[in-house]
Amino acid sequence: MIAIVDYDMGNVASVANMLKRIGSPPPVLTRDPDVLRRAEKVILPGVGAFDRGMQNLADFGLVDALNEAALERRVPVLGICLGMQLMTRSSEEGRRPGLGWIDGETRRFRFSGEAGLKVPHMGWNYVRPSRENPLIAGGARRRFYFVHGYYVTCDDSQDTIGTATYGFEFACAVNHDNVYGVQFHPEKSHRFGMALLEGFVGL
């Protein structure tokens, strides 16, 4: 069973719809810790503020179940957008600690007026694979849809599996053991997003 965490932080239905399009086993949208404890794969999507996301996970009693899935049962977990940021230790956006599954921090884009770059970074951008991985396979660049004002920095460069450029090169896809995260939205990225989700389902 693939569980999509529904914690009031984004349109989880679009992720479920994309999984159905690729022929995945029907996913379960849930905020029930017991369902997460039975899941064989977990997707943590999200759009919005870091502290609100962590607060909602705590309010729904999901943090322990998520830690059990990721750190004890070691099932494949995929964080999308805010979901990826919540996997880090902390964010410049808030004060609450993150889940800490990825050794890294979430930082805000800061550009001078002369740079001519708006925050949030919004629209299509190319992703370059950093190393071999099942989610962004092959050497060719792939295009994904981004909407974010914050980005993840990894302590260990080996945890970065894909980068994009917006003013500078930043990690937009990460992987540490069974934990994966992408800053972009595969559910809005057409064929490249479908291929990425197929890779995750196939883990």
C-beta of residue 56 within 8 angstroms of C-beta of residue 9: yes
Composition of the chain by helix, strand, coil, percent to 5: 30, 30, 40
Residue 164 neighbours by CB distance under 10 Å: 21
- How many angstroms separate the CA atoms of 61 and 46, rounded? 17
For residue 114, what pLDDT is reported?
Answer: 62
- How many angstroms separate the CA atoms of 50 and 68, rounded? 21
Q: Which CATH class name applies to 2-201? A: alpha beta
114 noted as active-site residue:
no
C-beta of residue 43 within 8 angstroms of C-beta of residue 78: yes
For residue 203, what pLDDT is reported?
Answer: 92
- How many angstroms separate the CA atoms of 139 and 130, rounded? 9
121 noted as active-site residue:
no
16-33 confidence digits (pLDDT tens): 999 999 999 899 999 999
Residue type, 49: A
198 noted as active-site residue:
no
- How many angstroms separate the CA atoms of 179 and 41, rounded? 10
For residue 138, what pLDDT is reported?
Answer: 67
C-beta of residue 46 within 8 angstroms of C-beta of residue 80: yes
For residue 196, what pLDDT is reported?
Answer: 96
pLDDT beneath 70: ranges in the chain: 114, 138-140
Catalytic residue among 68, 172, 187, 190: 187
Catalytic residue among 81, 105, 148, 154: 81
C-alpha dihedral sign at 71, 73, 10, 185: positive
Catalytic residue among 148, 176, 185, 190: 185
Q: Residue 27 in 3-state DSSP?
A: coil
> b/e map of 30-62 (b: 16 or more CB within 10 Å)?
bbebebbeebebbbbbbeeebebbbebbeebeb
For residue 52, what pLDDT is reported?
Answer: 97
Helix (H) or strand (E) holding 128: strand 121-129
